[in-house]
Amino acid sequence: MSIKGVIFDLDGVIVSTDEFHYQGWQRLADQENIFFDRAMNDRLRGVSRMESLDIILEKAKKNYSLDEKMRLAETKNDIYRDLLKKISPNDILPGVVSLLKELKEKNIKVAIGSSSRNSPTILAQIGLGAYFDATADGNDIKKSKPDPEVFLLAASRLGLKPAACLVVEDAQAGVQAGLAGGMKVLAVGAAANDPDATFSAPDMSHVSVEQLLNC
């Protein structure tokens, strides 16, 4: 089946908020005296806020109650949202805007499929809020990537069958989610070497619309 829609992950694909997530978690881990580094941060890509916290707390020396965990997640989100105030259209990753324009010209539908509950804020701040035909994000779903729920919801909001959609992802969990949903997957950034992806590129400036539509 030919590709009729492209579903973009947000953090790490459209905009590099992944560094702000890292800084937020690192500050929280330091505050709680828990070991955390960039290698561990790679495991959090595409994973929901609470599941990310559970991964960080694997290294904690004490047990945290649900209330304490809710407060820690809120603290991290406050730090993250404060850092987000800095982002602007200048932070859109290379190749994204020209690719979106070319897809529109070819009548290919575009959607966001993100685990982030901050997606609406981020899209508004980078000025791409009106660009997408549909969005599905962490506010809409129960199961986060690698479960395909967010991408299946995005495809249905586009009115397309999963097999007619291509997912663009920077996280291993997201690559698996796209494949589990029966979609093709372009892996970029941190996931660019993922052997399971349909194809890979360092970022979107290295991808042509023809490659996307004929994968």
Active site residues: 9, 11
112 forms beta bridges with 8, 135
11 binds Mg ion (CB under 5 A): yes
Q: How far apart are CA 116 and CA 53, in angstroms?
A: 14
Minimum separation from the CB atom of position 138 to Mg ion (A): 11
Q: How far apart are CA 45 and CA 12, in angstroms?
A: 8
- Residues between 18 and 77 with contacts to ligand B16, criterion CB under 6 A: 21, 44-49, 52, 77
12 binds Mg ion (CB under 5 A): yes
Inter-CA distances, 4 with 1, 111, 179, Å: 9, 11, 17
Of 1 and 50, the one with the shorter C-beta distance to ligand B16 is: 50
Of 2 and 12, the one with the shorter C-beta distance to ligand B16 is: 12
The answer to whether 170 touches 153, Cβ cutoff 8 Å, is no
Minimum separation from the CB atom of position 106 to ligand B16 (A): 24
Residue 48 binding: pick among ligand B16, Mg ion, none (C-beta 5-8 Å cut-off by kind): ligand B16
Selected from 114, 125, 176, 200, the binder of ligand B16 by CB under 6 A is 114
R_g (Cα) of the chain, nearest Å: 17
* Residues in the chain, total: 215
Of 61 and 92, the one with the shorter C-beta distance to ligand B16 is: 92
**If residue 113 lies in a helix (H) or strand (E), which one and from where to where?**
strand 109-113
Return contacts of 128-131, CB within 8 angstroms, 24+ apart.
128/14, 128/89, 128/92, 128/100, 131/100
137 binds Mg ion (CB under 5 A): no
Residue 115 binding: pick among ligand B16, Mg ion, none (C-beta 5-8 Å cut-off by kind): ligand B16
- Residues between 30 and 59 with contacts to Mg ion, criterion CB under 5 A: 46
Binding-site ranges for ligand B16 (CB under 6 A) = 9-12, 21, 44-49, 52, 77, 114-118, 138, 171
